[in-house]
Amino acid sequence: DAGVIQSPRHEVTEMGQEVTLRCKPISGHDYLFWYRQTMMRGLELLIYFNNNVPIDDSGMPEDRFSAKMPNASFSTLKIQPSEPRDSAVYFCASSLARVRNQPQHFGDGTRLSIL
Amino acid sequence: EDQVTQSPEALRLQEGESSSLNCSYTVSGLRGLFWYRQDPGKGPEFLFTLYSAGEEKEKERLKATLTKKESFLHITAPKPEDSATYLCAVQPKGYSTLTFGKGTMLLVSP
């Protein structure tokens, strides 16, 4: 089975530009999570969805960040305008709630560099 | 607030030299404790879930154990391919989210 697919794998852009990260969860999974990973703070949850509905976005650092899940097989995380401190690796993960304590399965991330 | 602290931050072992990684946690009711492995440039890969104190799980050279305050990941006779960052995470009761520790970077030299 295909795992969680993220694109692009790497993104380098200049400060002020809009950045869009994409995620395709595992087919049939009903939870989707967006994380950010840095050396200083580790892996932090930004937002998560259940059945395409945002449940908790309290981890989103600022209004510059937004996330959508228009259907069960696609989600985006957008940063507008981007700033150098947004540089990090962004991960998407999905899981299946019907199975007790089903683990989250992660994509390979998008390494974002804001110059 | 849920907290997860992993130690040591980094560990260097010789091939065959067994050791343990520690994960201390505070959570308001534990639904599950998860161990993940992360290779450079990759996403975390699931290893184990532990649900209650006293539980143990094994996979090849790895064994995870759980008490009410901490979990250990024991690595027996490690090989260079075991080199990775090992992440611990807790899931509180009633929640679908995970709180991660910062990980232990393990390097196994031949």
pLDDT tens, position by position, B31-75: 999 999 999 999 999 999 999 999 999 999 999 999 999 999 999
B99, pLDDT greater than 90: yes
CB contact under 8 A, A103 and B46: yes
Q: CB under 8 Å to B73, separation ≥6 — which residues? A: B20, B21, B23, B35, B62, B63, B64, B86, B88
Residues of chain A short of pLDDT 50, as ranges, are: none
Nearest residue on chain B to A90, judged by CA atoms?
B43
What distance in Å separates residue A18's CA from the closest CA in chain B? 24
B94 — contact with chain A (CB < 8 Å)? no
Report the gap between the CA of A109 and the closest CA in chain B (Å). Answer: 6
Considering chain A, what is the average pLDDT of its residues?
Answer: 94
Of B41, B42, B103, the CB nearest to A42: B103
Of B34, B97, B103, the CB nearest to A48: B97
**Average model confidence (pLDDT) across chain B:** 96
pLDDT for B70 equals 97
pLDDT of residue A100: 65
